[in-house]
């Protein structure tokens, strides 16, 4: 495991190109395109104003930047540095941008979600999508990139529109059986769409592409409902995170709940490993070297397994009326790339990460940290989880164990975000205005599937 030197960035931003060859790093109004391996600057683009968003095209030939305050987006060509495209939304404003799957169209969303504009880089034709709904993931492309699903709000009712991405023509439009849609999510195979109600009502609906409602599920009534939902990579399971501190697994055959994972504050099971972050004095040669360098604090951060039972996990007290959005329920759910592991976080326990075994439908491990977890993300190629907690350490978990690693020579680097390289061989470590890259060994974990042990 090797680390690059600490370099500058702005806004805690960095983006790997989809093909893994480049790394886009914004520095105020300048965008640096670096080689993903050596981190050498290959080309620099000077933008019209400070960069708030960076997004690569799917073919890695173009990169998009935007400044929402000025309502301006700019596209740049990697192969032709002199080429430039500028999109100005003017008085309509700009709050969101994204690439279409063909890498030749750009979608911009106007302020107040008045419209979505489709800009063509090929023939300069502009198309409009009216009445998009103001929800975080209301605009989603299907996994095969053939369709675009748009949640809409018309005459106080929710609708779904499906458009072909080749012609941007409407192919299906149907009304949703929701009062206030909060989210939509394509399944991994693109066969169905999951649609869920606002937290005021617990309601999950499964729709086919023809607009038929295949299933409706509600776990309870008269309480805050669904907070987040995500599909497993195989589309066999839909994980639903709720405000009652449970994650429910819905199967794709009967559309019924297979099991629920309850995030309790007390761990009693001996089959679940509990790892706590601890600080220990350095010993041996590292301690001697640190003393010679005159470091004021000679400690190392490690994970220690807790063997006693039961174990009480700390929560954050919530004062009614003090927060607009109180920390309650399951707010983060992520499947591993092979779909065998599920990492979750309970929002009133921000320093704790829960890892569940999907084949055994049981809790595998609990990671307890000294500070709230800022970000956690799975490797795209193997079941390996990376975490950061606002200090200069990066934390790893895999079915074989866990470890902590300090970024060498960067005691002031406070990590708040992580970005896996598409190959899984490196990990970008992002702070507020600095970043480094951790280069990992080129190996992969081979998971042996057996009835007795799914963890090795």
- 187 domain-assigned: no
3-state class (DSSP) for residue 444? coil
Distance of alpha carbon 157 from its chain centroid, rounded? 29
Exposure string for 10-21, b = 16+ CB within 10 A, e = fewer:
bbbbbbbbeebe
The CA-based angle 28-31-35, given to 5 degrees, is 135
Query: Taking the model in full, what pTM does it have?
Result: 0.91
Residue 69 lies in a domain: yes
List, for residues 99-148, the tens digit of each pLDDT value. Answer: 999 999 999 999 999 999 999 999 989 999 999 999 988 999 999 999 99
The residue with greater pLDDT, 300 or 251, is 251
Q: How many domains does the chain have?
A: 1
Has residue 123 been placed in a domain? yes
The answer as to whether 398 is a domain residue is no
In three-state secondary structure terms, 82 is coil
Which CATH number belongs to the domain containing residue 44 in this structure?
2.130.10.10
Task: Yes or no: say if 448 and 456 are a contact pair by the CB < 8 Å rule.
Answer: yes
Token pair 């895999």 is found at 398
- Bridge partners for 72 per DSSP: 67, 88
Q: Report the C-alpha gap between 281 and 301 in whole angstroms.
A: 9
Q: Please check whether residue 195 lies inside any domain of the structure.
A: no
Nearest to 416 by CA among 442, 439, 452, 389: 389
User: Rounded to an integer, what distance in angstroms lies between the CA atom of residue 249 and that of residue 209?
Assistant: 22
Average pLDDT score over residue span 222-247: 96
Whether the bond into 310 is cis, omega within 30 of 0: yes
- Is pLDDT of 203 > 80? yes
Q: Does 5 reside within a domain?
A: yes
Q: Any alpha helices (H) in 7-153, and if so which ranges?
A: none
In a domain, 59, yes or no: yes
Question: Quick one: which of 35, 121, 32 has its CA closest to 426?
Answer: 35
Residue 186 pLDDT > 80: yes
Give SS3 for 212.
coil
Strands (E), 178-329: 181-186, 192-197, 204-208, 213-217, 226-231, 237-242, 246-251, 257-262, 266-267, 273-281, 299-306, 311-312
Between CA 208 and CA 194 the distance in angstroms is 9
Kindly state whether residue 171 falls inside one of the protein's structural domains: no
| pLDDT greater than 80 at residue 44 | yes
Tell me the average pLDDT across 165-180. Answer: 96
Residue numbers of the domain that contains 36: 1-130
């Amino acid at each position: 495991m090797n680390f690059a030197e600490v370099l500058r960035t702005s806004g805690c931003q960095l983006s790997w190109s989809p093909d893994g060859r480049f790394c886009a790093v914004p520095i105020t109004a300048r965008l640096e395109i670096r080689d993903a391996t050596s981190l050498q600057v290959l080309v620099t683009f000077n933008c019209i104003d400070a960069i708030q968003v960076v997004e690569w095209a799917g073919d890695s030939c173009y990169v998009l930047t935007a400044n929402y305050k000025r309502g301006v987006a700019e596209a740049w060509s990697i192969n032709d540095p002199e080429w430039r495209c500028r999109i100005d939304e003017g008085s309509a404003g700009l709050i969101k941008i994204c690439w279409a799957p063909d890498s030749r169209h750009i979608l911009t969303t106007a302020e107040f979600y008045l419209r979505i504009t489709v800009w063509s880089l090929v023939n300069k034709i502009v198309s409009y999508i009216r009445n998009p709904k103001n929800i975080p993931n209301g605009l989603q492309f299907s996994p095969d990139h053939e369709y675009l699903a748009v949640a809409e709000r018309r005459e106080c009712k929710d609708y779904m529109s499906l458009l072909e991405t080749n012609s941007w023509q409407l192919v299906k439009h149907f009304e949703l059986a929701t009062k206030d849609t909060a989210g939509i999510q394509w399944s991994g195979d693109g066969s169905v769409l999951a649609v869920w109600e606002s937290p005021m009502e617990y309601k999950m609906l499964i729709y086919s592409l023809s607009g038929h409602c295949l299933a409706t599920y509600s776990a309870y009534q008269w309480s805050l409902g669904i907070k987040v939902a995500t599909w497993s990579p195989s589309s066999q399971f839909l994980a639903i995170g709720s405000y009652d501190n449970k994650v429910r697994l819905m199967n794709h055959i009967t559309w019924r709940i297979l099991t629920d994972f309850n995030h309790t504050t007390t761990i009693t099971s001996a089959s679940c490993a509990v790892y706590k972050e601890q600080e220990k004095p350095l010993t041996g040669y590292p301690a001697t070297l640190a003393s010679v360098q005159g470091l004021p604090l000679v400690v190392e951060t490690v994970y220690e397994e807790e063997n006693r039972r039961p174990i009480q996990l700390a929560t954050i007290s919530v004062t009614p009326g003090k927060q607009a959005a109180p920390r309650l329920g399951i707010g983060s759910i992520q499947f591993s790339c092979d779909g065998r592991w599920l990492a979750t976080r309970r929002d009133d326990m921000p320093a704790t990460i829960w890892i569940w075994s999907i084949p055994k439908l049981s809790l595998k491990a609990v990671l307890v940290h000294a500070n709230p977890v800022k970000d956690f993300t799975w490797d795209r190629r193997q079941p390996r989880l990376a975490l950061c907690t606002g200090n200069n350490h990066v934390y790893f978990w895999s079915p074989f164990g866990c470890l902590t690693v300090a970024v060498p020579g960067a005691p002031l680097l406070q990590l708040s975000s992580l970005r896996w390289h598409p190959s899984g061989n490196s990990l970008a470590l992002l702070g507020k205005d600095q970043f480094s890259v951790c280069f990992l060994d080129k190996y992969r974990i081979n998971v042996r599937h057996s009835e007795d042990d799914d963890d090795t």
